[in-house]
Amino acid sequence: MDLEKQPEPEKQPQPQRSAAPAETAPAAPAFADPQGSLRASDADRDRIADILGEALAEGRLDAEEHSDRIDAVYRAKTVGELEPIVRDLPAARTSRPAPDPAYAYGPDDRDGPPENLVAVFSSTTRKGRWRVSRRTNAFALFGNIEIDLTEAIFAQRLTTINATSIFGNVEVRVPENISLRGNGSGVFGNFEVVTLEGVDPQAPVVVINGYSVFGNVEARPKRGKWITDLQDRMRKHLGH
């Protein structure tokens, strides 16, 4: 006799085990802001500006790059915006003792006004023993301007001359033992700066910026002319 097939018992659904709660990382304290989001202070901006000024003096930046980066420095709101501006430059040498200056600079005129030289259908000459301003603006219109720095006293290491020549001529002569750099252009004219690197790292640096339109802007060393070490001259004069 065939046995009747007993219905298989229905499989009861197994209760699902609840997953163990994932371990969560402890929340960072509210005051732990990343360094880059800190608001920049005036001292932070000045520190970056000093690095850019040193880079300009060493020839790592030209005048246009320096100007663009300085603008970015004083627009920056946070430390994170400041640091990329000088990421490709050496850090400021604030912790190193300053070397004895090889040149006896006069009093610094950081806040002094620029010197303006203008020649309109005329001629202007600046030469001899004179103290060079931090900035000099030279404008020649159907005229001629001559700037001779071979006997000048530099009140600072970096000197900038902004030269504009329209149907005119601006000539700058420097001694052979300083650094000379330039940035400019000519439109149907000539802009020529003979680059010069001083052997002494503390020697003055002269930067010529500008342009000429049917004119000439020229800067070059004057052969045989050297800035005298004024400290040595004074020691000899006093018999030391």
pLDDT band at 14 (very low <50, low <70, confident <90, very high): low
Residue 64 has pLDDT above 90, yes or no: no
Percentage of residues in the chain having pLDDT higher than 90: 28
pLDDT at residue 149 greater than cutoff 70: yes
The pLDDT of residue 174:
92
Which of 151, 154, 148, 113 has its CA nearest to residue 131?
A: 154
Taking only the tens place, the pLDDT of each residue in 204-228 is: 899 999 999 999 999 999 876 766 5
Structure-token pair, residue 110: 């950081």
SS3 per residue for the chain: CCCCCCCCCCCCCCCCCCCCCCCCCCCCCCCCCCHHHCECCHHHHHHHHHHHHHHHHHCCCCHHHHHHHHHHHHHCCEHHHHHHHHCCCCCCCCCCCCCCCCCCCCCCCCCCCCEEEEEECCEEEECCCCEECCEEEEEEECCEEEEECCCCEECCCEEEEEEEEECCEEEEEECCCCEEEEEEEEECCEEEECCECCCCCCCCEEEEEEEEECCEEEEEECCCCCCCCHHHHHHHHHCC
pLDDT of residue 213: 94
Cβ atoms 109, 133 nearer than 8 A = yes
Assess whether pLDDT exceeds 90 at residue 138: yes
> Does residue 96 surpass a pLDDT of 70?
no
Kind of pairing between the strands at 115-120 and 135-141: parallel
Q: Tokens standing for 223?
A: 């052969």
Amino acid 110: pLDDT: 58
The CA–CA distances, whole Å, from 180 to 62, 107, 141, 204 equal 12, 22, 25, 9
What is the predicted pLDDT for the residue at 111?
61
pLDDT given at position 176: 85
